[in-house]
A and B are shown apart, each in its own frame.
Chain A
Amino acid sequence: MITIDTISKKYGKTEVLNVASIEIPTGQSFGLVGNNGAGKTTLFNVILDLIRPTTGSVISNNIVVSESEAWKNFTGSFIDESFLIGYLTAEEYFQFVGDLRGMNALEVTTFIGEFEDFFNDEIIGKKKYLRDLSKGNQKKAGIVAALMGNPEVVILDEPFANLDPTTQIRLKQVIKKLTDTSNITVLISSHDLTHVTEVCERIVVLDKGIVVKDLVTSAATLKELELYFSV
């Protein structure tokens, strides 16, 4: 599904990313972990063609992302709050994203209705602009928007951060459902090792822009990661 081919990114002389090759097959749940400054967000931004890599290219479903924009049709993403339009209410925002993703008003309402539990009554019908929601609630809205319009690839940067415990558990269920039942490729990054090991089939560890571990998740993975990071 996604091929990351010799991606590197340099700012001046400092190299922030240097990934030789990562192949992510369709339907895989792919986890990215690493300390601050490891290059997780940069890598996601490169995959979304928001940052141009110094060398290499990303191929998503046979489309080179920097050459054609066709990948946008099947890719949903939420990186940070700048993906939200602050002056809209959550409903208006979903409607806007729905419009762009070819859903009509009814489809959007039905889709959003499925996430009633996930929202926990804090997003819809609140008469609040997105900019006035708490960080956690903003994240909920952004994650759900990323799932709209039947994407084949979903990219979420730090989806668990700022979420309350209940929503964290529900989000894990949502992500599992995506990869188990509908063959969607999910890429997430996280600082929480427990969460990634629970959700992801494969975990890649980045350190200062370089892939240092590429693991197929097993019972021993969490121990291994904890050992690695407890230096």
Chain B
Amino acid sequence: MISHFLKLEWKQFFRSSHWQKGIALKIIMGFFVLYFMVAFLAIGVGGYYILKKTLPALDPLQLVNSYLLYVVLGELVLRYLMQTLPVMNIKPLLILPIKRSMLVHYVLGKSAISLFNIISLFFYIPFAVVLIIEGYDTGGALGWLLAVVLMTQSVNFLNFLINKSTIALGSIVFLLLATIGLQKFGVFDITVFGGQVFDAVYASPVYSLIGFVILGVLYNLNYKQLKSLVYLDEAVSQKVEEATSIDLSFANRLGDVAPFIKNDIRLIWRNKRTKTVFLMSFLFLFYGLIFFTQEAYRDMPAMLMFASLFITGGFTLNYGQFIPAWDSAHYKMLMSQSFKYRKFLESKWILMVVMTSILYVLSFPYLYFGSRIFLMITAGAIFNIGFNSLFLLYAGSFNRKKIDLNKSGFGNTQGTSATQFLIIVPLMLLPMLLFWVFNKFVGYNSGFIVVASVGIISLLLKKQAMNFIEKKYIKDKYVMINAFGKEA
């Protein structure tokens, strides 16, 4: 039976959309995964020595131990947001002669080897190895390793128990903030308590076996809960949300494009992935803080330009690059309706321009970093509005991947193809290069002027550009219909 399941998993993995993608994307995704693995490995191997060097008075193991409880809380929040039990997978198996208990074990067992649980091992295992090499007690280090692995697994199953209630999330976030606060003001230091727990495990590895008990209890609770819910109207059901209609008649003033604008607003608000894109674009506003506060970037104006583009461009970049794939599910229908393609494209353009403008207004507090930074953001905004919006519309005509709007937003790469990587060149690198060249060889202000001018010139040429883009979309109509009709 298990071998059947494994075969299914194998096929699901290799036939999933991740593998159907172009070779360029595969390579880049491969690098991405590799990067994280190497990064964690590096921290695992080097972490001990770094801690030893920066804080020679403290024992690295005890230091790590003292923060493990924070890791648990942080992980719970992260998992709450990103990890759900893959229960829908068993729907087709429900009517086959397989015991319900078997299916539940399968779903739960599968979750134990999810990426969330694996990735931390890349830190814990090398760290434990280094401990042994550095002369720590082998039994103690292995006991500690066992304890943290069991801890990760316990967190995994605890997450599924509390996953359904927002109250749980609230209390965890509250607990996290409260402990940080209490520690800050010296009332109660959770790191001392947490440290003691894991230090004790190191001192006498037998204690790590307690982890098995906790894990066992949590697994059992999950098992009992899930087993009673494996019915089509319970766990294995698609959630139906109640439709909420808001009055969008204000958009009617936009004339011909109004129906599309209204549609796009609903598209963004009613689908997980687009909603994530929308909300994330506000997070991008803070992107500049990383760069503007660091001394190291002061002397790298091109990097500051990069940040400036992101501050106002979060929406344009993330939404624009998947035009028209957002509408891929009903693209056929749109293509059989009588409207000028121009209106469809125009509505997307208006949306990007309006959002960039809003983000620009919200970026005013960056004046705090001085007028130069703000000029840079302004130039970036003009570039985003003028050049990037039009360019993304054009680049969109190369999109050939369907997007299933019902799938979640985080880490969803559906719809991604080589196009998404190639467009980065003119979108980001071009303004950076222009800025750098003029800044270096002509003078500081010329950098802004050139980047902003490219934006303004593009804006002036909008009509011509739109004609060109529209022709391209009409020419590629059949290819797009065909591509969007295929399962993602």
Contact = CB atoms under 8 A, between A and B. Distances in A.
Contacts of B298: none
Nearest to B330: A85
A50 B245 contact: no
A49 B481 CA distance: 10
B338 A82 contact: no
A92 B245 contact: yes
Interface of A: 48-52, 69, 72-73, 75, 77, 79, 82-89, 91-92, 95-97, 99-101, 126-129, 131-132
A100 B341 CA distance: 12
B337 interface: yes
B401 to A, nearest CB: 16
Interface of B: 238, 240-245, 258-259, 262-263, 266-267, 270-271, 329-333, 335-339, 405-406, 478, 481-482, 485
Given A85-B330, A86-B329, A100 B270 contact: no
Given A82-B333, A89-B245, A128-B242, A101 B338 contact: yes
29 contacts: A49-B335, A51-B478, A73-B338, A75-B336, A79-B332, A82-B330, A83-B330, A83-B332, A83-B336, A84-B330, A85-B329, A85-B333, A86-B329, A86-B330, A87-B271, A89-B243, A89-B245, A92-B245, A92-B262, A92-B266, A95-B259, A96-B259, A97-B337, A100-B259, A100-B339, A101-B338, A128-B240, A129-B241, A129-B270
With most chain A CB atoms within 10 A of its CB, the pick from B241, B243, B259 is B243
Contacts, number: 81
A85 B262 CA distance: 13
B263 A88 contact: yes
Contacts of B238: 132
A127 B333 contact: no
B332 A82 contact: yes
Contact of A100 (B245, B271, B337, B482): B337
A86 B258 CA distance: 19
Contacts of B332: 50, 79, 82-83
B456 to A, nearest CB: 33
Nearest to B485: A82
Contacts of A84: 330, 333
Nearest to B479: A52
A66 B153 CA distance: 59
B481 A51 contact: yes
Contact of B338 (A69, A127, A129): A69
A87 B267 contact: yes
A87 B259 contact: no
B258 A87 contact: no
A129 B337 contact: no
A87 B338 contact: no
B328 to A, nearest CB: 9
Contacts of A131: 406
A231 B271 CA distance: 48
Contacts of A79: 332
